[in-house]
Each structure stands twice: as structure tokens, then as C-alpha cells.
Amino acid sequence: MTMHETYTAPATLAAPETGKAVEIIGLNLFYGAFHAVKDVTMRIPANRVTAFIGSSGCGKSTVLRSINRMHELVPGAHVQGEVLVGGEDIYAPDVDPVAVRRQVGMVFQQPNPFPTMSIYDNVVAGVRLNGRRMRREALDEIVERSLRGAHLWDEVKDRLDRPGAGLSGGQQQRLCIARAIAVEPEVLLMDEPASALDPISTLAIEDLVRELRRDYTIVIVTHNMQQASRASDYTAFFNLEATGRPGHLVEFDTTEKIFSNPTKQETEDYVSGRFG
């Protein structure tokens, strides 16, 4: 562990860290023979929003997907190093990836509600698909709580039996967030959740993200600098030396520091728009 440079972001915010932090230690990610990400070590604090920024192909989405073991779904993909969620290594040999994903939820770039299911069924999909039998009232409660949590309740409460795919893009994305928080994960990963949405929906998602950090540890990948500076508490900047070389973590600090006074010239160039 000591051979890697460890980035520990200073605790600046008053709110206590009640949830689970994510520690990444000496993480190397591969797609077959291709070394995608090199030597990432960082501690993502609990109950904060952490943004991953960086140019395309620098491995930020790959790192994100390694936090709930989605990375390995690609044939040939493999991982070296440790990822600790709440102090437990999710890559330990006796860990079931399915169980990890129940703790670490994910929202994707394209809204992907299940097309065969109603709004109601989409929200409880995680609960139902996991085979848990629940009483109708308990399910109703989950649906209302999750949809309220995703700021969607008022818009859809009268048409919960309508198909989820019939909503607008922004509503669909909030439905996906409701679906993700319905299973009550500890950590919520968001892979460019607003990049397919219009500015109004984007703002709605950003507000939601800031609010959700009270209950969840949130990691969000974004290409939008304003979004990172508006919505996140911490920012990690990833970059790659050249095409074909692995991406690496350049700098990880409070969002304020990254955007106003970064330590590295590379970061300064990127956040000020001089390249990338």
C-alpha cells in the first residue's frame, strides 16, 4: 500500500459520515491484455458526492464500474488491487458479486427502465427480482418513499400502472434513480446520469444528487465541468499520458480546490478548458 501515492481528501464538511466510505487501494483494471487503469488509490468519503472527471477513455467509468463489480461483466476484464466498501474488500475470494451490487447501486448514462414493466413495477423491480416476497402495503411504501426520494412522486403518483418507458427522458432517469434507491444501497454510482438529458432535467438530477448524499455515498462520472463544480463535494481528475496507455488518477481533492487552485498543472489545464 505504501508504494502508491495515497490521496486522502481533507474532511471539510460539517455533516457526519454515517454511511460507508469506499477505499480504493492500488487498483489496476484490465480489458484482456489492455491495461485500462493504473494504480488508483483513493478514499471516497461517505455521505459526500464525489465527481470523477477526465477526458474520454481515461478510465473513470471503468473505475466506477469496478466499485460494484460491473467491470468484470465484459468478457476478459479483470482486476488487481483492493476496493473496500465500508472496510470490506469486495474483491476478496469469498465475496459474491451479486451481493456487492445490492450494496452498491448504479444509475446509467441512458435511462433504462424495464420496458415490460409499469412505473410501480420498475421501482420495486430490485426488491421483486431478488425474490423477496413482500406484502402489498410494504411495496406501496417502498414505491412512495423511493419516488419521493427521486423527486418523481408528484408527477407520476396518478399513473403508477402506466409503462415506465412512456415517461420523458428526465423522468425516466429519475425513475431509474428511484429504482436504484428502492433496494437501499450504501453507495450509489452514477455514470454520466444527466448527459442524455436537457438542461432543466439535468438541474433536477443535480439537486437530487446533492440531497441524496444525506443517505448515500455518491460517486458520479461527468463530462460536464459545471456539473462537477455544482453538484460535488470532492473531485477526482483522471487522465492518460497517451492513447493506448493506461489511465491514472492525477489529483483528488475537494471540488473547491480542484476548480480554484489545483496542485497539478495538468488538472489546471483540464478544468480551465485548455485541453480535453
Binding site for another protein (CB under 8 A): 68, 70, 73, 75, 98-103, 105-106, 108, 110, 112-116, 125-126, 128-131, 163, 165-166, 176, 179-180, 183
- For residue 82, the minimal CB distance to another protein (Å) is 21
- For residue 163, the minimal CB distance to another protein (Å) is 4
Helices (H), the chain: 60-66, 97-103, 119-123, 125-129, 136-149, 153-156, 169-182, 199-212, 225-231, 255-260, 265-271
Give the residue with the Cβ less far from another protein, 104 or 271.
104
- For residue 238, the minimal CB distance to another protein (Å) is 21
- For residue 210, the minimal CB distance to another protein (Å) is 22
Q: Rg (Cα) of the chain, in Å, rounded?
A: 19
Give the residue with the Cβ less far from another protein, 128 or 248.
128
Give the residue with the Cβ less far from another protein, 113 or 262.
113
Phi, psi of 63, rounded to the nearest 5 degrees:
-60, -45
- For residue 250, the minimal CB distance to another protein (Å) is 28
Q: What is the spatial distance between Cα 209 and Cα 156, in angstroms, rounded to a whole number? A: 20
Output the DSSP codes for 63-82: HHHHTTT-GGGSTTEEEEEE
Give the residue with the Cβ less far from another protein, 151 or 179.
179
- For residue 247, the minimal CB distance to another protein (Å) is 21
Phi-psi label, residue 184: left if phi above 0, alpha if psi -120 to 50, beta otherwise: left
Give the residue with the Cβ less far from another protein, 128 or 223.
128
Distance of CA 164 to the CA centre of its chain: 22
| Amino acid occupying residue 123 | V
Give the residue with the Cβ less far from another protein, 75 or 199.
75
- For residue 18, the minimal CB distance to another protein (Å) is 22
Q: What is the spatial distance between Cα 220 and Cα 79, in angstroms, rounded to a whole number? A: 21
Contacts of residue 217, defined as CB under 8 A and 6 or more positions apart, other chains included, come to 19, 20, 21, 22, 44, 45, 46, 47, 48, 50, 186, 187, 188
Give the residue with the Cβ less far from another protein, 68 or 239.
68
